[in-house]
Amino acid sequence: MTQESVKFEAQKRILWRLESYLQKLNGVSVTTSAPRAEGLSCLLHPIIPSPVINGYRNKSTFSVNRGPDGNPKTVGYYLGTWRDRSIVCVWSNHLKNIPEKHNQVAQYYEVFLRQSPVEPCLLFHEGGYWRELIVRTNSQGHTMAIITFHPQELRQEDLNVQKEAVKKFFTTGPGAVCDLSSLYFQESTMTRCSHQQSPYQLLFGEPHLFEDLLGLKICISPDAFFQINTAGAEVLYRTVRELSGVNSNTILLDICCGTGVIGVSLAQYASQVLGIELVEQAVEDARRTAAFNGITNCEFHAGRAEKILPQLLKSKEDGHFIVAVVNPARAGLHYQVVQAIRNCRAIRTLIFVSCKPHGETTRNIIE
């Protein structure tokens, strides 16, 4: 059984459970005269494969922990479980979806850690400093590395010493072979920390990566969300365009727009694009991308969609046809966003992009 057929059957089961729940909830059968898949009341298209399936990741996060030899300064991915206390950190060379460049940067980060007198931070309460590494690349081969560091009780001058040490290693030391386009440093006392909580500090290089996608240059900041498979993302966004039916008489509403890729890629077909995103830096990236590509019919708003959306829709409802695209995080849409979408009669088409259709997406559809 191919991977595509396995995924197709999985999506079919999700839709079947959703239909069963809706029928029970409403007390009526779901009927339609439109084409439909066997056993379903709707049409389920075949899975569309990505044109690239090996080495496709444009972003990888590497952990620091004990390796098979017990060395706590090992950089890689976890095997085992925390419950069984069997966690071990192993190199990622055997993983087919990780590009060689990402593995190279991870291995040289490990070299740096093993020559550093400063200990890694394996558990926050046990102390230590050096933490995970994030590597981002684009199709032109440019590479951004982001190193996370737990400051503990270090004085600023001691922090500066560590920043200078890692900068020197990757610019003039052994790590220079990685040919990084930029190196960022983030002081973080939490498992995950946004730019607003603790700013990314550029140690050297360009502040952004630019990726080619559908003939556009997309601006990517250190913590900006971008689809992990660029070639697969192009297939996804072409599909969104086909399903949306966007034309010159349409306003495209891009909810949870991230760096604005969907809106920017469809702007040439729409009358206007309105994007909403919680992460302010992502909105800055979206505006920068639109400006860089000479796109003038896009507006991007930073804030909570449930607060911005009702007023935005109210000002655009008169005589306009609206196509809404939602691409939320795994937590799904806030119920007030769902309510605002339902209350807007001008929305004629809704495209829901989800990486986890069996989770909160199902809840949102029911709402």
Distance from C-alpha of 203 to C-alpha of 146, rounded to nearest angstrom: 10
Residue 256 annotated to the active site: no
What contacts 97, CB < 8 A, 6 or more positions away? 53, 54, 55, 56, 57
Judge whether 196 is annotated as a binding position.
Answer: no
Any bridge partners for residue 168, and if so which? none
Judge whether 299 is annotated as a binding position.
Answer: no
Judge whether 227 is annotated as a binding position.
Answer: yes
> 172 and 134 in contact (C-beta within 8 Å)?
no
Q: Among 42, 193, 344, 355, which one carries the catalytic annotation?
A: 355
The SS3 of residue 358 is coil
Q: Label the pairing between strands 347-352 and 321-326.
A: parallel
User: How far apart, in Å, do the first and last CA atoms of the chain sit?
Assistant: 35
Name residue 6's amino acid: V
Tell me the DSSP string of 167-181: HHHHHTSGGGGG--S
Helix (H) or strand (E) holding 131: strand 130-137
- Tell me how many degrees the CA angle 355-342-245 measures, rounded to the nearest 5: 65
Helix (H) or strand (E) holding 213: strand 209-213
> 250 and 268 in contact (C-beta within 8 Å)?
no
Q: Which has the closest alpha carbon to 305: 364, 223, 243, 221? A: 364
Q: Which has the closest alpha carbon to 222: 327, 147, 303? A: 147
Token couple for 315: 């000002």
Distance from C-alpha of 136 to C-alpha of 83, rounded to nearest angstrom: 31
Handedness of CA 3, 265, 344, 284 (dihedral sign): positive
Q: Which residues are annotated as a binding site?
A: 227, 277, 327
Residues recognised as catalytic: 355
Q: Which residues are annotated as a binding site for S-adenosyl-L-methionine?
A: 227, 277, 327
